[in-house]
Protein backbone atom coordinates (compact mmCIF):
# COMPACT_ATOMS: atom_id res chain seq x y z
CA UNK A 1 0.00 0.00 0.00
CA UNK A 2 1.59 3.35 -1.01
CA UNK A 3 2.08 5.84 1.82
CA UNK A 4 2.95 8.76 -0.45
CA UNK A 5 0.52 10.42 -2.84
CA UNK A 6 1.73 12.86 -5.48
CA UNK A 7 -1.11 14.94 -6.88
CA UNK A 8 -0.70 17.43 -9.71
CA UNK A 9 -3.18 20.08 -10.73
CA UNK A 10 -2.69 19.36 -14.42
CA UNK A 11 -0.88 16.77 -16.52
CA UNK A 12 1.13 19.74 -17.81
CA UNK A 13 2.88 19.71 -14.38
CA UNK A 14 4.23 16.19 -14.93
CA UNK A 15 7.40 17.24 -16.75
CA UNK A 16 8.50 19.31 -13.74
CA UNK A 17 7.92 16.38 -11.39
CA UNK A 18 10.29 13.90 -13.05
CA UNK A 19 12.96 14.44 -10.38
CA UNK A 20 10.43 13.57 -7.68
CA UNK A 21 9.56 10.26 -9.32
CA UNK A 22 13.26 9.50 -9.85
CA UNK A 23 13.91 9.87 -6.12
CA UNK A 24 10.86 7.79 -5.22
CA UNK A 25 12.18 5.04 -7.49
CA UNK A 26 15.69 5.41 -6.08
CA UNK A 27 14.31 4.83 -2.57
CA UNK A 28 12.14 1.96 -3.93
CA UNK A 29 9.02 3.61 -2.54
CA UNK A 30 5.58 2.81 -3.84
CA UNK A 31 3.44 5.86 -4.53
CA UNK A 32 0.12 6.88 -5.98
CA UNK A 33 0.00 9.72 -8.47
CA UNK A 34 -3.08 11.52 -9.76
CA UNK A 35 -4.15 14.57 -11.74
CA UNK A 36 -6.67 16.33 -9.49
CA UNK A 37 -7.49 20.00 -9.73
CA UNK A 38 -8.71 22.17 -6.86
CA UNK A 39 -10.64 24.26 -9.37
CA UNK A 40 -11.52 21.91 -12.23
CA UNK A 41 -12.31 18.78 -10.18
CA UNK A 42 -13.01 20.20 -6.71
CA UNK A 43 -15.25 17.32 -5.61
CA UNK A 44 -12.56 14.75 -6.46
CA UNK A 45 -9.98 16.82 -4.55
CA UNK A 46 -12.15 16.89 -1.43
CA UNK A 47 -13.04 13.20 -1.73
CA UNK A 48 -9.39 12.17 -2.20
CA UNK A 49 -8.28 14.15 0.85
CA UNK A 50 -11.14 12.97 3.05
CA UNK A 51 -10.36 9.31 2.29
CA UNK A 52 -6.56 9.62 2.20
CA UNK A 53 -5.87 8.56 5.79
CA UNK A 54 -8.26 5.58 5.60
CA UNK A 55 -6.59 4.62 2.32
CA UNK A 56 -3.24 4.31 4.08
CA UNK A 57 -1.51 7.48 2.92
CA UNK A 58 0.81 9.20 5.38
CA UNK A 59 1.96 12.19 3.33
CA UNK A 60 0.35 14.01 0.41
CA UNK A 61 2.44 16.02 -2.05
CA UNK A 62 0.54 18.54 -4.17
CA UNK A 63 2.00 20.30 -7.21
CA UNK A 64 0.05 23.14 -8.75
CA UNK A 65 0.64 26.35 -10.64
CA UNK A 66 -1.03 29.74 -11.09
CA UNK A 67 -3.68 30.30 -8.33
CA UNK A 68 -2.32 27.17 -6.68
CA UNK A 69 -5.03 26.16 -4.22
CA UNK A 70 -4.56 22.40 -4.56
CA UNK A 71 -2.35 21.86 -1.50
CA UNK A 72 -4.53 24.13 0.63
CA UNK A 73 -7.76 22.44 -0.41
CA UNK A 74 -6.30 19.00 0.24
CA UNK A 75 -4.99 20.17 3.64
CA UNK A 76 -8.45 21.54 4.48
CA UNK A 77 -9.89 18.03 4.25
CA UNK A 78 -7.20 15.97 6.04
CA UNK A 79 -4.88 16.15 9.04
CA UNK A 80 -2.16 14.24 7.17
CA UNK A 81 0.96 16.28 6.41
CA UNK A 82 0.57 18.09 3.08
CA UNK A 83 3.56 19.32 1.10
CA UNK A 84 2.98 21.92 -1.61
CA UNK A 85 5.14 22.43 -4.68
CA UNK A 86 4.50 25.74 -6.46
CA UNK A 87 4.74 25.15 -10.22
CA UNK A 88 6.30 27.80 -12.41
CA UNK A 89 4.20 29.12 -15.28
CA UNK A 90 3.81 32.25 -17.37
CA UNK A 91 3.66 35.18 -16.76
CA UNK A 92 4.87 35.22 -13.14
CA UNK A 93 7.27 32.25 -13.21
CA UNK A 94 5.86 30.59 -10.10
CA UNK A 95 5.70 33.60 -7.78
CA UNK A 96 1.89 33.45 -8.04
CA UNK A 97 1.84 29.74 -7.15
CA UNK A 98 4.42 30.24 -4.38
CA UNK A 99 2.29 32.83 -2.61
CA UNK A 100 -0.94 30.87 -3.16
CA UNK A 101 0.65 27.72 -1.74
CA UNK A 102 2.65 29.15 1.16
CA UNK A 103 0.27 31.81 2.48
CA UNK A 104 -2.11 29.49 4.30
CA UNK A 105 -4.26 30.89 7.08
CA UNK A 106 -3.32 29.75 10.59
CA UNK A 107 -4.82 26.37 11.45
CA UNK A 108 -4.35 24.65 8.09
CA UNK A 109 -0.63 24.25 7.38
CA UNK A 110 0.97 23.38 4.04
CA UNK A 111 4.72 22.68 4.07
CA UNK A 112 5.73 24.63 0.99
CA UNK A 113 8.97 23.75 -0.79
CA UNK A 114 11.01 25.46 -3.49
CA UNK A 115 9.14 26.26 -6.70
CA UNK A 116 9.47 24.06 -9.79
CA UNK A 117 11.81 21.13 -10.43
CA UNK A 118 13.98 21.67 -7.33
CA UNK A 119 10.83 21.77 -5.22
CA UNK A 120 9.64 18.49 -6.69
CA UNK A 121 12.83 16.80 -5.45
CA UNK A 122 12.68 18.52 -2.06
CA UNK A 123 9.01 17.61 -1.60
CA UNK A 124 9.81 13.91 -1.94
CA UNK A 125 12.86 14.19 0.32
CA UNK A 126 10.73 15.94 2.95
CA UNK A 127 8.05 13.25 2.63
CA UNK A 128 10.75 10.61 3.08
CA UNK A 129 12.08 12.43 6.17
CA UNK A 130 8.56 12.38 7.65
CA UNK A 131 8.11 8.66 6.95
CA UNK A 132 11.65 7.96 8.21
CA UNK A 133 10.62 9.10 11.71
CA UNK A 134 8.89 5.74 12.11
CA UNK A 135 10.88 3.66 9.61
CA UNK A 136 14.51 2.92 10.54
CA UNK A 137 15.35 1.34 7.20
CA UNK A 138 14.12 4.43 5.34
CA UNK A 139 16.00 6.68 7.78
CA UNK A 140 19.19 4.74 6.92
CA UNK A 141 18.56 5.17 3.19
CA UNK A 142 18.03 8.90 3.66
CA UNK A 143 21.32 9.24 5.56
CA UNK A 144 23.06 7.29 2.79
CA UNK A 145 21.51 9.60 0.16
CA UNK A 146 22.92 12.61 2.03
CA UNK A 147 26.34 10.96 2.37
CA UNK A 148 26.53 10.31 -1.37
CA UNK A 149 25.34 13.85 -2.13
CA UNK A 150 28.10 15.26 0.07
CA UNK A 151 30.65 13.04 -1.68
CA UNK A 152 29.53 14.20 -5.11
CA UNK A 153 29.89 17.87 -4.14
CA UNK A 154 33.36 17.18 -2.71
CA UNK A 155 34.29 15.35 -5.92
CA UNK A 156 33.08 18.34 -7.95
CA UNK A 157 35.22 20.67 -5.84
CA UNK A 158 38.22 18.42 -6.25
CA UNK A 159 37.75 18.29 -10.02
CA UNK A 160 37.39 22.08 -10.15
CA UNK A 161 40.66 22.51 -8.21
CA UNK A 162 42.43 20.13 -10.65
CA UNK A 163 41.16 22.09 -13.65
CA UNK A 164 42.24 25.39 -12.11
CA UNK A 165 45.69 23.97 -11.31
CA UNK A 166 46.12 22.84 -14.95
CA UNK A 167 45.37 26.42 -16.02
CA UNK A 168 47.83 27.71 -13.39
CA UNK A 169 45.03 29.66 -11.77
C1 LIG B 1 -2.79 24.60 -12.42
O2 LIG B 1 -2.82 25.43 -13.52
C3 LIG B 1 -1.99 23.41 -12.82
O4 LIG B 1 -1.36 22.87 -11.70
C5 LIG B 1 -1.00 23.95 -13.82
O6 LIG B 1 0.25 24.23 -13.22
C7 LIG B 1 -1.65 25.24 -14.28
C8 LIG B 1 -2.00 25.24 -15.74
O9 LIG B 1 -2.78 24.12 -16.04
P10 LIG B 1 -3.07 23.71 -17.57
O11 LIG B 1 -3.78 24.85 -18.18
O12 LIG B 1 -1.73 23.43 -18.20
O13 LIG B 1 -3.92 22.46 -17.48
O14 LIG B 1 -4.06 24.22 -12.01
Q: Could you write out the three-class secondary structure of 148-167? A: HHHHHHHHHHHHHHHHHHHC
The Cβ of residue 134 has, within 10 Å, a number of other Cβ atoms equal to 9
Find the helix or strand (DSSP H, E) in which 65 lies: strand 59-65
Does the beta carbon of 88 lie inside 6 Å of ligand 1?
no
Find the helix or strand (DSSP H, E) in which 61 lies: strand 59-65
Write down the H helix ranges in the chain.
18-26, 42-52, 70-76, 95-102, 116-132, 136-166
Distance from C-alpha of 9 to C-alpha of 62, rounded to nearest angstrom:
8
Instruction: Specify which residues 32 forms β-bridges with.
Output: 5
| Cis status of the peptide bond prior to 91, with omega within 30 of 0 | yes
Does the beta carbon of 116 lie inside 6 Å of ligand 1?
no
CA 89 to ligand 1 center in whole angstroms:
8
Mutation to probe ligand 1, out of 6, 7, 12 (largest number of atoms < 8 A from CB): 12
Does the beta carbon of 114 lie inside 6 Å of ligand 1?
no
Per-residue pLDDT of the chain (169 residues; tens, 9 = 90+): 899 999 999 999 999 999 999 999 999 999 999 999 999 999 999 999 999 999 999 999 999 999 999 999 999 999 999 999 999 999 999 999 999 999 999 999 999 999 999 999 999 999 999 999 999 999 999 999 999 999 999 999 999 999 999 999 8
Does the beta carbon of 65 lie inside 6 Å of ligand 1?
yes
CA 87 to ligand 1 center in whole angstroms:
8
Burial of 120 (0-12, 13-18, 19+ CB in 10 A): buried
Prediction pTM value: 0.96
Tell which atom from ligand 1 comes closest to the C-alpha of 97.
6
Amino acid sequence: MPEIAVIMGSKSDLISLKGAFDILNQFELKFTTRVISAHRTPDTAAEFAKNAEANGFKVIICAAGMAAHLAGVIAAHTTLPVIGIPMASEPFNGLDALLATVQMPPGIPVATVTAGKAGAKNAVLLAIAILALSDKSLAGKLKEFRRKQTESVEAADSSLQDELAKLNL
